[in-house]
């Protein structure tokens, strides 16, 4: 059977756990701003890809053919690239 802990031992254990929680919180908040910025940029990029896909596919549906896209030789290849970006998982 284990010995009961003295109050000083309990306080030391509590202090140790408290310091660990504070260290975790400090680490989280030091990285939070950077991660939030990363995810906001990725979200904006994904919204832009979705807008481009919607515009291109809407044009095709309305006019029966794909639009000419500046600096893109083949629209279908460009659509494939956009879909790859859309499917790509985010990495931190």
Q: What is the reported pLDDT for 22?
A: 96
- Residue position matching structure tokens 């290849």: 77
pLDDT, tens only, 16-59: 999 999 999 999 999 998 899 999 999 999 999 999 999 999 99
- Check residues 27 and 89 and name the one with the higher pLDDT: 27
Q: What confidence category does residue 89 fall into, taking pLDDT thresholds of 50, 70 and 90?
A: confident
**pTM score of the predicted model:** 0.64
DSSP of 13-47: HHHHHHHHHHHHHHHHHHHHHHHHHHHHHHHHHHH
């Amino acid at each position: 059977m284990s010995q009961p802990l003295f109050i000083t031992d309990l306080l030391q254990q509590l202090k140790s756990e408290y310091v660990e929680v504070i260290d975790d919180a400090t680490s989280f908040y030091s990285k939070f701003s950077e991660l939030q910025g990363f995810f906001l940029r990725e979200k904006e990029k994904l919204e832009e890809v979705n807008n481009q896909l919607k515009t291109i596919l809407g044009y095709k549906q309305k006019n029966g053919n794909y639009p000419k896209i500046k600096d893109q030789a083949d629209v279908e290849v460009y659509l494939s690239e956009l879909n790859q970006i859309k499917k790509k998982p985010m990495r931190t």
